[in-house]
């Protein structure tokens, strides 16, 4: 038995050595606040109102103030909202379960239209992120995992270009800011800065947050991350 | 052996091709197709004088196909079966293996109310280890105490469940046939016609804690969960009637002619790749017949009309993601009958190499019998090694 245990230990520690990778840089933490939204899954910052749009796993879109208090709730209920983006007068939301992309009026929060974006991967491994990429002048949706696919959509929300992202086990949120596309990995606790055209990773940071699901930037470029399981907003310094 | 090695090499080459389930969408109705395949080789080191080596063999453990459906946020349903086990059971002869019953889930859930209502056949809300998925474990077998020989793991019936405090608290209650996995083969209830009642509550802190054995995401905060569960049935047989054949299980404990109450507690912890689970269960059995074998020919004055059984299981796991490796150690200690001297102790050590999480993994475990209950469970072997591969899609 001692012999077998020794073999197990040896194999394990050899693999530890083989797999060792350097630690990533961390981001400067500022503060955190509880958010009242049940099972929050993504956030988008509205520069016009300084408010946050938050979507929930229960298929509901909320508008919250920067302290996490709910200001408004969209009347329409979907199934499993996982991504949200603000652009012009629209708030765009992607439903992971039904593979639908919805447009809400930013002033009334009434649903104005829905588009079906087909994807046959696992129900909980579908579109987890939604962002607008001004560099490509396109919306993009990203599948959560197995595999992580970045799909650029045309003006009719039809996928026209697809990229496979292999630098993380999963992607839970995406946001364009200041010329770069930022991706957040929940399972790898990492924020990636990517080239907005090729989506190649240019830099990465470790985020010490449990179950990070949403990513946004405020007016000054401060990073905001939302945790689903902890129901909290986390505020960080501007990324350098 | 050469063919097996070739197959294994091919699996390695294509391990990144796999992936994920397949979904069909129609409006707000989604239907997901998934499955699992696993094969292992089992080798036992026999005691001196034992010559029967039939258990040294390859085994197709899983050949599962499942359908999960969801209609909006109101309805959910699941159908899941293991074709390998169904084929084995159809062949007859061997007693039903409660860990591999063939039919795994067939139920509908109504979710539009604060309390979810589930009707059908599925895992019972009893025992933390039982509620966790098998493919999420490094070991090729659940612990002896928790694999279905002391208490059933699945049954047909009604389950009510709800969550509180942002899903940190889970509460379950249900009523079932009490025949466990045997209800599928038996179809009818036993002659007593009485059900089994099951209840469970667990509390997690500081956030909700999913029913997973391993910390594959290296959680950033220490997380703990405590649970307690109880189940009761009175299967006292009417005069002249007996329990259906084979329902009592390997140890004669799963269903008895009499009253049976089982209660247990469990705890789980995880932080930065380290995880641990502990469980303890006690069976309080009151056989109706004074000559029931469970009384082991003891007098009423000695047994006082009660037989107890149960035990504990503890397990620690460490997942080191950069090396795609998980190491687990498990300790089991159980007593089949408190009227008979003796208990069994087992130690298991397991290792998994994750090609793609635990969806595609190579697993090996080693089991050592530390102490044998010579009177109640005399074994032919002292050590066991299982090595194999699992593939989930």
Which residues does chain A have within 8 Å of residue B70's beta carbon, measured at their own beta carbons?
A: 79, 97, 123
pLDDT at B105: 97
Query: What beta strand segments (E) does A88-231 contain?
Result: 90-95, 100-105, 111-116, 127-133, 138-143, 148-153, 159-165, 173-177, 180-185, 190-194, 201-206, 212-217, 222-227
Strands A127-133, A111-116: parallel, antiparallel or unpaired by DSSP? unpaired
All residues at 6 or more sequence positions from B87 whose CB lies less than 8 Å from its CB, including other chains:
none
Calculate mean pLDDT across residues B165-181. Answer: 96
- Cβ of B207 and A99 within 8 Å? no
User: Which candidate, A213, A220, A206, places its Cα nearest to that of A29?
Assistant: A206
B63-86 tens-digit pLDDT: 999 999 999 999 999 999 999 888
- Distance CA(B175)–CA(B124), nearest Å, equals 10
Q: Is the pLDDT of residue B61 over 60?
A: yes
Which residues does chain B have within 8 Å of residue A79's beta carbon, measured at their own beta carbons?
A: 28, 70, 72-73
Q: Is A187 on the interface with B (CB under 8 A)?
A: yes
All residues at 6 or more sequence positions from B155 whose CB lies less than 8 Å from its CB, including other chains:
B121, B124, B176, B177, B178, B179, B180, B181, B183, B196
Instruction: Please calculate the CA angle B225-B226-B229 and round it to the nearest 5 degrees.
Output: 130
CB A97 within 8 A of CB A116: no
Q: Which residues of B touch A (CB under 8 A)?
A: 18-25, 27-28, 30, 32, 34, 68, 70, 72-73, 166, 206-208, 216-221, 320-325, 327, 349, 351, 353, 356-357, 359, 366, 368, 383
Query: What beta strand segments (E) does chain B contain?
Result: 22-26, 29-46, 57-71, 75-82, 103-110, 116-123, 154-164, 169-176, 196-205, 223-234, 258-271, 274-287, 307-320, 325-335, 344-356, 360-371, 381-392
- Distance CA(A79)–CA(A56), nearest Å, equals 9
Overall residue count recorded for chain B in this entry: 393
- The beta-carbon neighbor of B20 closest among A18, A59, A121 is A121
Calculate mean pLDDT across residues B279-299. Answer: 96
Which residues does chain B have within 8 Å of residue A78's beta carbon, measured at their own beta carbons?
A: 28
Calculate mean pLDDT across residues B43-54. Answer: 94
CB B59 within 8 A of CB B42: yes
Residue B308's SS3 state is: strand
Rounded to a whole number of angstroms, the distance from the CA of A12 to the nearest CA of chain B is 7
CB B380 within 8 A of CB B354: no
pLDDT at B93: 56
Report the predicted TM-score, pTM, of the whole model to 2 decimal places: 0.91
Per DSSP, what are the bridge partners of residue A226? A214, A233
- The beta-carbon neighbor of A230 closest among B28, B207, B327 is B207
Instruction: Please calculate the CA angle A102-A106-A110 and round it to the nearest 5 degrees.
Output: 55
User: Which candidate, B361, B349, B350, places its Cα nearest to that of B324?
Assistant: B361
Confidence band (pLDDT; 50, 70, 90) for A25?
confident
- Cβ of A79 and B208 within 8 Å? no
Confidence band (pLDDT; 50, 70, 90) for B88?
confident
Q: Is the pLDDT of residue B18 over 70?
A: no
Site of tokens 């089949």: B336
Rounded to a whole number of angstroms, the distance from the CA of B166 to the nearest CA of chain A is 7
pLDDT at B90: 76
Of the residues A146, A166, A171, the best mutation for testing chain B's interface (the one with the most B CB atoms within 10 Å of its CB) is: A146
Q: Mean pLDDT score of chain B, rounded to an integer?
A: 93
Confidence band (pLDDT; 50, 70, 90) for B184?
confident
- Cβ of B349 and A8 within 8 Å? yes
Residue B12's SS3 state is: helix
A33-92 tens-digit pLDDT: 999 999 999 999 999 999 999 999 999 999 999 999 999 999 999 999 999 999 999 999
Q: Is the pLDDT of residue B309 over 80?
A: yes
**A-chain residue closest to B205, CA distance:** A230
B102-153 tens-digit pLDDT: 999 999 999 999 999 999 999 999 999 999 999 999 999 999 999 999 999 9
**Tokens for B205?**
């802190």
Residue A125 exposed, middle or buried by CB count within 10 Å (0-12, 13-18, 19+): buried
CB B214 within 8 A of CB B138: yes
- Cβ of A210 and B73 within 8 Å? no
Q: Contacts by B26-30 with C-beta closer than 8 Å and gap 24+?
A: B27/A98, B28/A78, B28/A79, B28/A97, B28/A98, B28/B71, B28/B72, B29/B69, B29/B70, B29/B71, B29/B72, B30/A97, B30/A98, B30/A123, B30/B69, B30/B70
pLDDT at B231: 98
Per DSSP, what are the bridge partners of residue B190? none
Q: Is A21 on the interface with B (CB under 8 A)?
A: yes
Cα distances from B236 to residues A92, B53, B59, B212, B297, in angstroms, run 61, 40, 38, 37, 20
Cα distances from A129 to residues A149, A192, A197, B247, B393, in angstroms, run 10, 14, 17, 50, 23
Confidence band (pLDDT; 50, 70, 90) for B89?
confident
Cα distances from B373 to residues A25, A115, B114, B334, B362, in angstroms, run 55, 65, 47, 9, 32
Q: Is the pLDDT of residue A8 over 70?
A: no
**Tokens for B67?**
């359908």
A209-218 tens-digit pLDDT: 999 999 999 9
Q: Is A33 on the interface with B (CB under 8 A)?
A: no
Q: Is A147 on the interface with B (CB under 8 A)?
A: yes
CB B347 within 8 A of CB B375: no
pLDDT at B14: 43
Calculate mean pLDDT across residues A119-138. Answer: 95
Confidence band (pLDDT; 50, 70, 90) for A1?
low
CB B79 within 8 A of CB B67: yes
Which residues does chain A have within 8 Å of residue B326's beta carbon, measured at their own beta carbons?
A: none
CB pairs A-B closer than 8 Å: 106
In this structure, of B87-96, B279-288, B326-335, the range with the lowest mean pLDDT score is: B87-96
Calculate mean pLDDT across residues A100-110. Answer: 97
Which residues does chain A have within 8 Å of residue B221's beta carbon, measured at their own beta carbons?
A: 210
User: What ipTM, to 2 d.p.?
Assistant: 0.88
- Cβ of B70 and A79 within 8 Å? yes
Of the residues B16, B207, B353, the best mutation for testing chain A's interface (the one with the most A CB atoms within 10 Å of its CB) is: B207
In this structure, of A16-20, B37-41, B159-163, B291-295, the range with the lowest mean pLDDT score is: A16-20
B5-17 tens-digit pLDDT: 444 444 444 444 4
pLDDT at B16: 45
Q: How many CB atoms lie within 10 A of CB A46?
A: 15
**B-chain residue closest to A114, CA distance:** B27
Q: Is A146 on the interface with B (CB under 8 A)?
A: yes
- Cβ of B22 and A122 within 8 Å? yes
All residues at 6 or more sequence positions from B73 whose CB lies less than 8 Å from its CB, including other chains:
A58, A59, A77, A79, B111, B112
């Amino acid at each position: 038995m001692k012999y077998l245990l020794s073999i197990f230990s040896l194999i394990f520690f050899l693999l530890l050595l083989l797999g060792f990778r350097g630690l990533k840089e961390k981001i400067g933490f500022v503060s955190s606040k509880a958010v009242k939204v049940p099972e929050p899954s993504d956030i988008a910052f509205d520069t016009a109102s300084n408010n946050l749009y938050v979507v929930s796993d229960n298929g509901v879109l909320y508008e919250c103030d920067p302290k996490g208090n709910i200001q408004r709730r969209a009347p329409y209920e979907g199934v499993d909202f996982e991504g949200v983006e603000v652009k012009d007068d629209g708030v765009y939301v992607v439903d992971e379960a039904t593979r639908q992309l919805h447009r809400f009026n930013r002033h009334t929060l009434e649903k104005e239209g829905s588009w079906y974006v087909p994807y046959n991967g696992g129900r909980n491994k579908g579109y987890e992120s939604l962002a607008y990429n001004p560099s490509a002048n396109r919306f993009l949706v990203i599948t959560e995992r197995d595999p992580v696919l970045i799909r650029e959509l045309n003006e009719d929300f039809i996928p026209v270009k697809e990229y496979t992202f292999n630098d993380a086990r999963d992607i839970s949120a995406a946001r364009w800011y200041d010329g770069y596309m930022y991706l957040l990995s929940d399972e790898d606790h990492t924020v990636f800065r990517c080239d907005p055209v090729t989506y190649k990773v240019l830099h990465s940071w470790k985020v010490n947050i449990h179950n990070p699901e949403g990513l946004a930037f405020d007016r000054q470029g401060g990073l905001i991350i939302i945790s689903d399981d902890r129901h909290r907003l986390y505020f960080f310094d501007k990324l350098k | 052996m050469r063919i097996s090695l070739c197959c294994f090499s091919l699996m390695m080459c294509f391990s990144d091709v796999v992936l994920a389930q397949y979904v069909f969408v129609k409006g707000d109705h989604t239907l997901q197709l998934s499955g699992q395949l696993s094969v292992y080789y089992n080798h036992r080191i026999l005691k001196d004088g034992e010559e029967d080596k039939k258990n040294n063999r390859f085994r197709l453990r899983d050949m599962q196909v499942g359908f999960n459906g969801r209609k909006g946020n109101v309805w959910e349903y699941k159908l899941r079966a293991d074709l390998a086990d169904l084929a084995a059971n159809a062949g007859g002869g061997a007693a039903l293996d409660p860990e591999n019953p063939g039919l795994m889930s067939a139920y509908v859930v109504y979710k539009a109310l604060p309390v979810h209502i589930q009707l059908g056949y599925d895992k019972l809300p009893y025992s933390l280890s039982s509620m966790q998925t098998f493919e999420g474990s490094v070991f090729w077998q659940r612990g002896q105490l928790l694999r279905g020989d002391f208490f059933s793991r699945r049954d047909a019936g009604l389950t009510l469940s709800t969550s509180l405090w942002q899903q940190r608290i889970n509460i379950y209650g249900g009523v079932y046939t009490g025949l466990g996995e045997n209800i599928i083969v038996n179809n009818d209830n036993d002659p007593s016609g009485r059900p089994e009642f099951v209840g469970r509550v667990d509390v997690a802190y500081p956030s909700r804690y999913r029913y997973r054995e391993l910390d594959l995401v290296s959680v950033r905060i220490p997380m703990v969960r405590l649970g307690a569960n109880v189940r009761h049935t009175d299967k006292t047989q009417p005069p002249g009637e007996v329990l259906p054949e084979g329902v009592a299980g390997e140890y004669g404990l799963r269903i008895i002619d009499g009253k049976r109450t089982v209660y247990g507690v469990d705890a789980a912890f995880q932080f930065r790749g380290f995880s641990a689970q502990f469980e303890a269960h006690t069976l309080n059995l009151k056989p109706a017949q004074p000559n029931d074998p469970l009384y082991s020919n003891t007098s009423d004055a000695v047994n006082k009309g009660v037989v107890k059984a149960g035990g504990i299981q503890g397990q620690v796991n460490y997942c080191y993601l950069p090396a795609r490796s998980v190491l687990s150690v498990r300790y089991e200690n159980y007593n089949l009958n408190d009227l008979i001297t003796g208990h069994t102790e087992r130690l298991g050590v397991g290792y998994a190499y994750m090609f793609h999480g635990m969806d595609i993994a190579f697993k090996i475990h080693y089991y050592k019998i530390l102490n044998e209950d010579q009177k109640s469970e005399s074994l032919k072997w002292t050590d066991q090694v299982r090595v194999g591969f699992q593939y989930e899609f």
